[in-house]
Amino acid sequence: MNLIQFLRIFWARRWLVLGTALACFVAATLVASALPKRYGATARLLIDTMQSDPVTGSGLTMRDTRPYIFTQTELIRDPRVTGAVVDRLGLANDPDTIAAYQASGFREEDGGIRRWLANQIAQRVSAGQVGATSIFEIRVEGPTPEYAKAVVGAVRDAYVQEVLRIKTDAAGRTSAWYAEQAEKERQLLEQAEARRNAFMKENNITLTAGPGSPDVEMAKLQSLQNAQAALRGTSGTALAATGEALPNVAADQLRVQLAAIEEEIARASEQLGPEHPAFKAALARKRAVEMQLANATRQQEASRAASANIARGSLTQLDAEIRAQQAVVLARKPIYDQLVALDREVELRRSQYERALARSADLRLVSDVSETSFVILGDPIAEQTPSYPKMGRIMTLAGIFGVLLGLMAALAAEFIARRVRGAEDLAYATGAPVLVSVGTPPPSPVRLQLRRLLGRRTDREDDSELQAI
């Protein structure tokens, strides 16, 4: 069959097609009108991705937003949220609701009326992100706009409180765990300090300062080595300076007297002559002063030599003391090594204790936080037009379905009682080609063109038909 034959069938049975379409349309309209209407209400929240945690400083990133939205969408339908809505609105106390619950067959073992109502609300709740924005929209459908608005507002408030409770409860539990760990670390730290103190007492170790400082023997060795370095660096110059700087008042006075006597002898030799008694007396005084000056110089040299001997003796004694102290320190080296290991254990325990204590304090702050990453955007909004059933969509689909059903009914009726409606049907029924058609008006050029396109007839058949006509 070609398209022309189908069109002839549909046109011949057009009333069947129209009647079927009209019946489907009217039936769908009546059924949709009898269905209980549902009204939608929405409430919005703003996800503040820029707000960081007041303790940890972390916040949401754009990469984390999508999985976060999926998680929050499922959390809104959780019985903990919807159950809180039941409690807030007192739905379990309504007589009609109680009667509907008793007729539902839901058992007390399954959670009772509260869980049944929570499941009913969860089925009517939907949520999601508005486009590519940071706005999170919650939608609820109910039998009246007022009911839907009240439920969506309660859902939003219960959801925000649940998010905050999850955050604070988890932080509180973790804080308690860290507090327990900090207490354990404190006990281990006290035990490590007790072992170190007992070891120090047993081996007679006394530290010069706090933990990690050298003990008395090590400090004594370091002091001796510092004194040795200072003495060796300054001994030569210091001793020479000390010898030259020793005051010798008598020698200085003798030198002044000797200079005066020499001047007197020079004048006497010129004026009196070498045999004069005054000249000889001056020479005698000169010899006496020179002898006294020589004695004073020898005493000064002896004092310098004595100072040098004292310095050399001090260095020798200091070297001996350092060697003896080094022997003492080397003998106690295994003890010092064990003390270092005990000090490291104490520091490790102290570090772990301080970290656990600080983490517990941070989480305790989180458990006291009263803010979430959501900002409530205004009041809930209820729609005054029913969201279900959608009459326009239902009637459109019913009309399309009715037309298709009518076409199928027309084809079924045609094949049950097949009729000849054109030359193509006659050729199909007799199995012979149709040569002439009598009593039909001549086809227009447009009709011939359509028949050529739709019926796939050849030009020769069209020419023979025209000649027959």
Do residues 125 and 138 make contact, with C-beta atoms less than 8 angstroms apart?
yes
Mean pLDDT along residues 40-46: 90
| Nearest CA among 99, 101, 93, 138 for reference residue 120 | 101
Query: What would the 3-class secondary structure string for 14-77 be?
Result: HHHHHHHHHHHHHHHHHHHHHCCCEEEEEEEEEECCCCCCCCCCCCCCHHHHHHHHHHHHHHHC
313 within a domain of the structure (yes/no):
yes
SS3 125: strand
- The pLDDT of residue 238 is above 50: no
- The pLDDT of residue 55 is above 50: no
- pTM (two decimals): 0.50
Percent of the chain with pLDDT over 90: 4
Examine the domain organization and report whether 325 and 372 are in the same domain: no
Examine the domain organization and report whether 239 and 139 are in the same domain: no
Domain that holds residue 150: 36-177+358-382
Examine the domain organization and report whether 40 and 141 are in the same domain: yes
- What distance in Å separates the CA atoms of residue 65 and residue 271, rounded to the nearest whole number? 125
Do residues 136 and 72 make contact, with C-beta atoms less than 8 angstroms apart?
yes
What is the pLDDT confidence band of residue 257, given thresholds at 50, 70 and 90? confident
Examine the domain organization and report whether 163 and 283 are in the same domain: no
Say which range, 183-197, 199-213, 226-240, has the weakest mean pLDDT: 226-240
Examine the domain organization and report whether 41 and 167 are in the same domain: yes
Examine the domain organization and report whether 159 and 255 are in the same domain: no
Say which range, 100-104, 238-242, 407-411, has the weakest mean pLDDT: 238-242
431 within a domain of the structure (yes/no):
no
80 within a domain of the structure (yes/no):
yes
Q: Residue 305, class by beta-carbon neighbours within 10 Å (0-12 exposed, 13-18 middle, 19+ buried)? A: exposed
First to last CA, the chain: 24
- The pLDDT of residue 101 is above 60: yes
- The pLDDT of residue 462 is above 50: no
- The pLDDT of residue 50 is above 60: no
Please give the mean pLDDT across all residues of the chain. Answer: 75
311 within a domain of the structure (yes/no):
yes
- The pLDDT of residue 241 is above 70: no
Bigger pLDDT: 34 vs 298: 34
Examine the domain organization and report whether 40 and 82 are in the same domain: yes
Examine the domain organization and report whether 173 and 231 are in the same domain: no
Say which range, 41-45, 127-131, 149-153, 211-215, has the weakest mean pLDDT: 211-215
Q: Which range in 102-106, 148-152, 314-318, 460-464 is most confidently predicted, on average pLDDT? A: 148-152
Do residues 66 and 47 make contact, with C-beta atoms less than 8 angstroms apart?
no
Residue 131 carries which DSSP code? Answer: T
20 within a domain of the structure (yes/no):
no
For residue 442, the model assigns a pLDDT of 64
Bigger pLDDT: 326 vs 420: 326
Examine the domain organization and report whether 40 and 114 are in the same domain: yes
Residue 384 carries which DSSP code? Answer: S
414 within a domain of the structure (yes/no):
no
For residue 22, the model assigns a pLDDT of 92
Mean pLDDT along residues 35-53: 77
Structure tokens at 198: 């007992």
Examine the domain organization and report whether 241 and 366 are in the same domain: no
- What distance in Å separates the CA atoms of residue 318 and residue 329, rounded to the nearest whole number? 16
306 within a domain of the structure (yes/no):
yes
Residue-wise pLDDT for 263-305, tens only, equals 777 777 776 667 666 666 777 777 777 777 777 676 666 666 5
- The pLDDT of residue 409 is above 70: yes
Domain count along the chain: 2
Q: Count Cβ neighbours within 10 Å for each residue of 44-55 and write b for 16 or more, e otherwise.
A: bbebeeeeebeb
Examine the domain organization and report whether 277 and 173 are in the same domain: no
For residue 392, the model assigns a pLDDT of 82
Q: Is the peptide bond before 389 cis (omega within 30 degrees of 0)?
A: yes
Q: Who's near 39: CB < 8 A, 6+ residues apart?
A: 141, 142, 143, 144, 145, 147, 148, 382, 383, 384, 385, 386, 387
Examine the domain organization and report whether 130 and 224 are in the same domain: no
416 within a domain of the structure (yes/no):
no
The three-point CA angle 52-56-59 to 5° equals 30
Which strands sit side by side in the sheet containing 39-47, from one edge to the other?
125-129, 135-142, 39-47, 374-382
| Nearest CA among 42, 266, 4 for reference residue 136 | 42
